[in-house]
């Protein structure tokens, strides 16, 4: 009986250890994806700011051209 309990405990511990390793892997993967997405968001925001700057310059040029007409 003790051998059976020991085997069950070993199996339970191994399952717990595997679950912890799976959890840790999932957390690391989520952190990496979050960092990547944050970097992509920053890059997209920079592009948006640049495009907004270009749009503002073009609008001012258009307004100047319309004022000269």
Q: At which residue do the structure tokens 């405990």 appear?
A: 9
pLDDT digits (tens, 9 = 90+) for 15-31: 999 999 999 999 999 99
How sure is the predictor about 2, in pLDDT bands with cuts at 50, 70 and 90? confident
Query: How far does Cα 3 stand from its chain's mean position?
Result: 47
Residue 53's pLDDT is 98
pTM for this predicted structure = 0.66
Mean pLDDT, the chain, integer = 95
Helix/strand/coil (H/E/C) assignment for every residue in 1-69: CHHHHHHHHHHHHHHHHHHHHHHHHHHHHHHHHHHHHHHHHHHHHHHHHHHHHHHHHHHHHHHHHHHHC
Domain boundaries, the chain: 1-68
What is the pLDDT at residue 69?
77
Q: What average pLDDT does this structure show over 26-55? A: 98
* pLDDT given for residue 1 in this prediction: 56
């Amino acid at each position: 009986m003790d051998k059976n309990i020991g085997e069950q405990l070993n199996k339970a511990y191994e399952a717990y250890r595997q679950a912890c390793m799976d959890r840790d892997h999932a957390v690391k993967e989520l952190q990496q994806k979050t960092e990547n997405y944050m970097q992509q968001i920053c890059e997209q925001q920079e592009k948006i700011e640049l495009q907004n700057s270009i749009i503002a310059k073009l609008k001012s040029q258009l307004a100047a051209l319309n004022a000269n007409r």
